[in-house]
């Protein structure tokens, strides 16, 4: 039984009750449809594949992307394979899943096949990268940005012998890189304010000085296009929980193919061996992405995750990005009209999928929104984070801003001056 991946489209044709964008299938030119092609579904037709959208206004895809119904099927498929195939399932797809699923991620990030391995999360993927290096020579500096995700910061800080330089922003990272720099862990889209970073400039400067760039693309892949090959990053990491709608437990690691064969991770295991089932006493690193694997893969998480990847691949990240830019522009406009300070970039070219807004007493506003079925979150210092995905309607965005105004406004009215 092969690992589940790429099941592709199901035929969901019913129109959403929540509004529409673009022509309806029956309005499209008949000439576009042949025996060999099906009409591209209206983007809002994908709503019906995400059951939680019927119950909530789901604007928290930067944190936990909505679950596709197909993920439940995949998890059941996993259970059935385990129940009926037993030990044979390893040879029928399970053992290879860290690489076969990695190949699906590779398609989403512009990487060649055989360059992405699956891990439990970003922290572990970055730990594998770190374990390829030692920090006892003259080149032991790590330059990163203030806005990196905490887990990534903690991990780098904890390495023995490192010399950490923290820059205020992406320009600061460029300035701080020098001949002492070994690694530059950088974030594509910042988690707190959704700002897209100037990765090109960082890669250029790092490579001029012989440093290597580790790109954390968790907040971009699935909503902001990423081409790791064109960018020339040395490593890239991400997970599946957010814009990929793949659920927890399926982090990924890309390593530049020409670099991979020169590295020997110290965080290693038998999946990284050329002949794992020979059970040899010494490590003999496999070629390609396999050399970055560790032990037994997280099989159920990999089953679940592919349901999210399938729908993202089917819709297409370029199309998702075009819709996301419209959605975030609308949110910025509505929130500013309502008198709130937006903390995400106004320039759409610098803005990822999340809009951050500071309202009075935003924790209370966030909690009340949640009670009303409008799911978003807040982060200290910055305010509410709203992360619409391709399946959200403009009406939902208007509704969320109305509710924010009502909740935050009522508090202002009740506060004695």
> What does the binding site for ligand PLP look like in residue numbers (CB under 6 A)?
121-123, 149, 151-152, 187, 191, 216, 218-219, 239, 251
Kindly state the tokens that stand for 67. Answer: 């679950």
Comparing CA positions, the residue from 282, 229, 283 lying closest to residue 256 is 229
CB nearer to ligand PLP: give 195 or 268. Answer: 195
CB of 287 to ligand PLP, least distance (A): 26
CB of 150 to ligand PLP, least distance (A): 8
Place of tokens 């096949």: 113
Kindly state the tokens that stand for 152. Answer: 């990534």
CB nearer to ligand PLP: give 117 or 187. Answer: 187
CB of 339 to ligand PLP, least distance (A): 29
CB of 128 to ligand PLP, least distance (A): 12
CB of 251 to ligand PLP, least distance (A): 5
CB of 189 to ligand PLP, least distance (A): 7
CB nearer to ligand PLP: give 154 or 261. Answer: 154
CB of 215 to ligand PLP, least distance (A): 10
**What burial letters (b/e) apply to 120-129, b meaning 16+ CB within 10 Å?**
bbbbbbbbbb
Residues 6+ apart with CB under 8 A from 266: 131, 132
CB nearer to ligand PLP: give 41 or 194. Answer: 194
CB nearer to ligand PLP: give 219 or 271. Answer: 219
CB nearer to ligand PLP: give 240 or 306. Answer: 240
CB nearer to ligand PLP: give 217 or 331. Answer: 217
Max alpha carbon distance in the chain (Å)? 76
Comparing CA positions, the residue from 388, 196, 387, 222 lying closest to residue 317 is 222
CB of 126 to ligand PLP, least distance (A): 8
CB nearer to ligand PLP: give 252 or 340. Answer: 252
**What burial letters (b/e) apply to 194-214, b meaning 16+ CB within 10 Å?**
bbbbbbeebbebbbeeebbbb
Question: Is residue 5 a contact partner of residue 104, using CB atoms and an 8 Å limit?
Answer: yes
CB of 398 to ligand PLP, least distance (A): 27
Kindly state the tokens that stand for 300. Answer: 């159920």
CB nearer to ligand PLP: give 120 or 283. Answer: 120
CB of 330 to ligand PLP, least distance (A): 23
CB nearer to ligand PLP: give 152 or 312. Answer: 152
Place of tokens 């522009």: 329
CB nearer to ligand PLP: give 124 or 338. Answer: 124
Kindly state the tokens that stand for 121. Answer: 């999360």
CB of 187 to ligand PLP, least distance (A): 5
**What burial letters (b/e) apply to 378-404, b meaning 16+ CB within 10 Å?**
bbeebbbbbbbbbbbbbebbeebbebb
- Determine the residue with CB nearest ligand PLP: 121
């Amino acid at each position: 039984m092969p690992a589940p991946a790429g099941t592709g489209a199901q035929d969901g044709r019913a129109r959403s009750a929540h509004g529409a964008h673009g022509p309806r299938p029956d309005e499209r030119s008949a000439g576009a449809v042949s025996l060999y092609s099906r009409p591209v579904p209206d983007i809002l037709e994908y709503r019906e594949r995400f059951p939680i959208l019927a119950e909530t206004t789901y604007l928290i895809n930067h944190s936990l992307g909505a679950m596709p119904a197909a993920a439940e099927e995949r998890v059941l498929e996993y259970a059935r394979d385990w129940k009926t195939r037993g030990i044979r399932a390893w040879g029928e797809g399970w053992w290879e899943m860290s690489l076969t699923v990695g190949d699906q991620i590779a398609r989403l990030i512009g990487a060649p096949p055989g360059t992405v391995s699956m891990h439990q999360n970003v922290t572990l993927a970055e730990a594998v990268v770190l374990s390829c290096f030692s920090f006892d020579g003259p080149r032991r500096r790590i330059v990163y940005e203030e806005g990196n995700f905490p887990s990534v910061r903690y991990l780098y800080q904890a390495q023995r012998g490192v010399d950490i330089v923290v820059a205020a922003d992406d320009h600061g990272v460029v300035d701080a890189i020098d001949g002492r720099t070994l690694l530059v862990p950088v974030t594509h889209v910042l988690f707190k304010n959704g700002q897209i970073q100037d990765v090109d400039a960082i890669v250029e400067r790092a490579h001029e000085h012989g440093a290597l760039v580790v790109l954390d693309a968790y907040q971009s892949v699935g909503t902001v296009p990423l081409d790791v090959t064109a960018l020339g990053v040395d490593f890239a990491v991400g997970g599946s929980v957010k814009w990929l709608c793949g659920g927890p437990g399926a982090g990924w690691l890309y390593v530049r193919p020409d670099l991979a064969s020169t590295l020997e991770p110290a965080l290693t295991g038998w999946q990284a061996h050329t002949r794992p089932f020979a059970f040899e006493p010494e490590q003999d690193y496999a070629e390609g992405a396999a050399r970055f694997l560790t032990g037994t893969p997280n099989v159920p998480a990999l089953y679940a995750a592919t349901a999210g990847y399938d729908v993202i691949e089917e819709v297409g990240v370029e199309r998702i990005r075009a819709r996301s830019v419209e959605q975030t522009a609308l949110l910025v406009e509505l929130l500013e009209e309502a008198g709130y300070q937006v903390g995400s970039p106004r320039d759409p070219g610098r803005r990822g999928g999340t809009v951050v807004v500071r309202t009075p007493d935003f924790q209370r506003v966030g909690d009340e929104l949640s009670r009303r079925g409008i799911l978003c979150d807040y982060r200290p210092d910055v305010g509410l984070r709203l992360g619409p995905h391709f399946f959200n309607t403009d009406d939902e965005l208007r509704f969320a801003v109305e509710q924010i105004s009502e909740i935050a406004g009522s508090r202002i009215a009740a506060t004695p001056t």
